[in-house]
């Protein structure tokens, strides 16, 4: 009997796998590489909602877990993936400056928002009103992490490169059988692929398509992430990641000319130097209408569980949610009510 079958090897599946390893649980991971959202993710993490200058839900708890968690993965994989890069929020008005300083005085935000106004730092960035610095921020190279973690699992013979077939699940009293192997639990961490899952596709997972660019600009010369209507993130060798668009109607992973045009226009509003587009890519983020993840156990099949809906903040959320689900299954510890899928089952009188 194997403890877990984990379907999906994006950032969510990777984190849950690691908690299994840390706790000496047996598991296999199954993935067919059909959902690229983790591999094309922006990778930024910051504890503040920069549109409204408000704290991200459970930001302190998420960061306290995520930072050492990713450090341990770097050590295990002998790979640098977590880069501590400041985020500078570009102000568009005096009113925004005032709103920033008001927010920075709040106890829950004071450790995340610098009270020093920064100005005229980068000649290639248009910034009449300066910047505010967000603290405790960084960039996770999600593609490098999930790709190398999958190779690590392959070397341990814990990875199956195959499309999961829901019809092959055989339910027993205390376990399930899949492809002739007994498992105590199945964890579905499929991202937008959830829509094909007959056990959980009734949950309100929406998909928000995001497009990003990699540009080369030797004259830009910034060593921080600039956040305005877009973000500009330095990734080395005069290359920058620029994103992102939000499209709620197109559910494909295909880059579009409209997406590129939108990013280029916004980029030109922020910088005043030349650049070349090196790469253009797209993916569908697994988002939820109430802006909270989907975590928990199926109302009928108690061996089936979901770890999904990480949206645009997957880097901070993934270790936090994976740990919550792992402890919920292993010890019966209650999930945070905001993320528990019970919230939807109760509305439909299924519990």
- The tens digit of pLDDT for each residue in 261-295 reads 999 999 999 999 999 999 999 988 888 888 899 99
Q: Which residues pair with 133 in a beta bridge?
A: 88
Would the pLDDT of 251 be above 90? no
User: Once rounded to an integer, what is the mean pLDDT over residues 124-151?
Assistant: 95
Among the ranges 37-41, 119-123, 157-161, which has the highest mean pLDDT value? 157-161
- Residue pLDDT, tens place only, 41-82: 778 999 999 988 999 999 999 999 999 999 999 999 999 999
| DSSP secondary structure code for residue 125 in this structure | B
Q: Tell me if 210 sits within 8 A of 231, measured CB to CB.
A: no
Name the average pLDDT for the chain.
94
Among the ranges 39-43, 79-83, 118-122, 251-255, which has the highest mean pLDDT value? 79-83
Would the pLDDT of 243 be above 70? yes
pLDDT at 39: 56
Q: How far is CA 14 from the centre of its chain?
A: 12
User: Once rounded to an integer, what is the mean pLDDT over residues 130-154?
Assistant: 95
Backbone torsions φ then ψ of 12, nearest 5 degrees = -70, -50
Q: Tell me if 78 sits within 8 A of 152, measured CB to CB.
A: no
**Who contacts 226 (Cβ-Cβ below 8 Å, separation ≥6)?**
88, 90, 122, 125, 131, 232, 270
Strands (E), the chain: 2-7, 27-31, 44-45, 48-49, 54-55, 82-83, 87-90, 131-134, 138-140, 159-161, 169-171, 176-178, 181-188, 205-216, 225-227, 231-236, 239-243, 276-288, 294-297, 304-308
Q: How far is CA 315 from the centre of its chain?
A: 4
Rounded to whole angstroms, how far apart are CA atoms 260 and 257? 5
Q: Tell me if 30 sits within 8 A of 197, measured CB to CB.
A: no
Edge-to-edge order in the sheet of strand 87-90: 131-134, 87-90, 225-227, 231-236, 239-243, 205-216, 276-288
Rounded to whole angstroms, how far apart are CA atoms 41 and 187? 22
Supply the angle between the helices 314-331 and 59-77 in degrees, to the nearest 10: 90
Q: Band of the pLDDT at 40, cuts 50, 70, 90? A: low
Q: Which residues pair with 140 in a beta bridge?
A: 82
Burial classification of residue 235, based on how many CB atoms lie within 10 Å of its CB (0-12 exposed, 13-18 middle, 19 or more buried): middle
Give the least confident one: 11-15, 62-66, 312-316.
Answer: 312-316
pLDDT at 208: 87
Q: Tell me if 306 sits within 8 A of 321, measured CB to CB.
A: no
Would the pLDDT of 37 be above 80? no
pTM: 0.94
pLDDT at 289: 82
- Residue pLDDT, tens place only, 206-242: 888 999 999 999 999 999 999 999 999 999 999 999 9
User: Once rounded to an integer, what is the mean pLDDT over residues 146-171?
Assistant: 96
3-class DSSP assignment, residue 15 = helix
Q: Give all domains of the chain, ordered by start, each with its CATH number.
A: 2-41+143-204+290-347 (3.50.50.60), 207-286 (3.30.9.10)
- The two tokens of residue 147 are 């790709």
pLDDT at 100: 96
């Amino acid at each position: 009997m194997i403890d877990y079958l984990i379907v999906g090897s994006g950032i969510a599946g990777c984190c849950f796998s690691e908690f299994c390893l840390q706790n000496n649980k047996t598991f296999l991971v199954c993935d067919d590489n059909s959902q690229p959202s983790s591999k094309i993710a922006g990778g930024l993490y910051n504890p503040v909602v920069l549109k409204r200058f408000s704290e991200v839900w459970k930001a302190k708890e998420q960061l306290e877990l995520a930072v050492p968690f990713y450090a341990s993965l770097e050590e295990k994989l002998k790979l640098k993936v977590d880069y501590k890069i400041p985020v500078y929020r570009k102000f568009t008005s005096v009113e925004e400056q005032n709103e920033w300083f008001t927010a920075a005085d709040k106890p829950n935000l004071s450790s995340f928002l610098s009270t020093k106004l920064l100005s005229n730092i980068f000649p290639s960035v248009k910034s009449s009103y300066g910047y505010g610095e967000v603290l405790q921020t960084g960039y996770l190279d999600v593609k490098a992490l999930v790709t190398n973690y999958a190779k690590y699992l392959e070397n341990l013979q814990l990875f199956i490169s195959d499309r999961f077939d829901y019809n092959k699940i055989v339910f027993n009293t205390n376990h399930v059988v899949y492809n002739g192997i007994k498992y105590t639990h199945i964890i579905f961490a499929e991202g937008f692929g959830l829509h094909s899952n007959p056990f959980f596709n009734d949950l309100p997972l929406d998909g928000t398509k995001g497009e990003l660019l990699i540009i080369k600009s030797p004259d830009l010369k910034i060593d921080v992430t600039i956040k305005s209507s877009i973000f500009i993130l330095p990734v080395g060798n005069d290359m920058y990641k620029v994103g992102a668009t939000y499209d709620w109607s197109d559910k494909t992973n295909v880059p579009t000319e409209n997406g590129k045009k939108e990013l280029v226009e916004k980029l030109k509003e922020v910088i005043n130097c030349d650049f070349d587009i090196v790469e253009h890519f797209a993916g569908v983020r697994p988002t939820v209408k109430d802006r909270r993840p989907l975590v928990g156990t199926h109302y009928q099949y108690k061996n089936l569980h979901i770890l999904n809906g990480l949206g645009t903040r997957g880097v901070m959320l993934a270790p936090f949610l994976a740990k919550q689900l792992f402890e919920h299954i292993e010890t019966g510890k209650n999930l945070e009510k905001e993320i528990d899928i019970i919230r939807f089952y109760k509305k439909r009188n299924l519990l």
